[in-house]
Amino acid sequence: MATEVHATAIVEAGATLGSDVVLRAGAIIRSGTVLGDRVVVHSYAVIGGEPQDLRFDPATPSGVAVGEGTTIREFVTINRATRAGTSTTVGPGCFLMAGVHLAHDVRLGEAVILANNVLLAGHVAVGDRTFIGGGAAVHQFCRIGEGAMVAGLARITEDVAPFTMVAERDEVIGLNLVGLKRRGVSRAAIQQLKEAFRRVYFTPGNIRAVAAQALADLAAGEPEARRFLEFFAGGKRGFVRPRREVALDADPA
């Protein structure tokens, strides 16, 4: 298979295409964009446009980097980074459905799925194998951990821990047990995640301190539970919290 650039697609000077890339009619690839092998960009998507930041200097040499095997559907917009020599990044194997917007300096991990009309503000970071439902919006500088699931139309203004499910306005509704099962995570690891979840979200006190103590007590625990607890040590924002009773004991098998 050879690279295909269909009629009316635009590739500006300074853009780089990998092998076997497909650009459908009307796709626009701006200067500074790098598309990995086997990337498919559908009609009227704009990759590498200027940030929607009134302070941005258009002369800044920045870009967008898209990993191999990623599919970008119609009317997606991905803005380039705001700092010289940096890129808004989309990992390999991602699927961005129609109307998705990635603002400047967003970072998507591997195999992330964004459903129609998802809106990610500047500097949002999304972990590997996360799913975000249609119409969800995420505030700038938020982090969404690996393996999380965000419901459609959710409004996220705080950090979302790995392997959790969130909905509505910053509302944790439990662990993403179905996603964990599909990834082949062991029962022992899921049980540790349940225990870590309960301790972090239902122990009084500062959530960062509670998570740090839980991590220290875990010692040589399962890697998924450790990554869940380590997440609370970082970030610039607060953390989503349960707003109602959370069910963690459903059998994921």
Residues involved in catalysis? 104-105, 122
Which residue's entry shows tokens 């040589």?
A: 220
- Long-range contacts (CB closer than 8 Å, 24 or more residues apart) made by 165-174: 166/240, 168/243, 170/240, 170/241, 171/240, 171/241, 171/242, 171/243, 171/244, 172/201, 172/240, 172/241, 172/242, 172/243, 172/246, 173/242, 173/244, 173/246, 174/246, 174/247, 174/248
Which residue's entry shows tokens 């959790």?
A: 164
The neighbouring-strand residues paired with 159 are: 239
